[in-house]
Amino acid sequence: MTFSAGAGAVDSVDGNRTCAYPHVVMPASTPLDVRPLSRALKALGDETRLRIVALLSHSELCVCHLESVLSLPQSNTSRHLSVLKAAGLVEARREGSWVYYRLAPQLDELCGSQVRALVDAFAKRDVLRREVARVLKSCGPDACK
């Protein structure tokens, strides 16, 4: 089976791609699975969700803390968190009737490196650190218990 015409035509023999030149054998490449990264980048394509990740890069937070910082109703905040959770970016833990969110460890190496770069960039932002400290002080770290 020929893939292209010309002097460097590529044929397929027993699953290996071969060039028209008899001494050149090109092994079939393993496809790169970009789905985890694609899913993460789609989730981060929204300003609110990006801001949530930025806030969670500083501390685990309850939904009520995020509501306060983002000035959003609980339903909107939870919807954004569910998109981030479905993308594997955040994970939740339930304590009584409250749900706390934190950044999830990334199992995919490519996705993990991108999330780490993002978190490192956010960690340098004092304004975010101050915002998290303010909401934890005003609501209290135990306000949700």
pLDDT digits (tens, 9 = 90+) for 19-58: 566 665 556 566 777 888 889 999 999 999 999 998 898 8
Instruction: Give the residue from 4, 128, 122, 142 showing the smallest Cα distance to 114.
Output: 122
Nearest by Cα to 135 from 69, 74, 72, 70: 69
pLDDT digits (tens, 9 = 90+) for 77-136: 999 999 999 999 999 999 888 889 999 999 888 888 998 898 888 877 788 778 777 777
Q: Which strands form 90-95's sheet, in the order they lie side by side?
A: 61-62, 98-103, 90-95
Question: Would the pTM count as exceeding 0.75?
Answer: no
Tokens at 3, concatenated:
């893939």
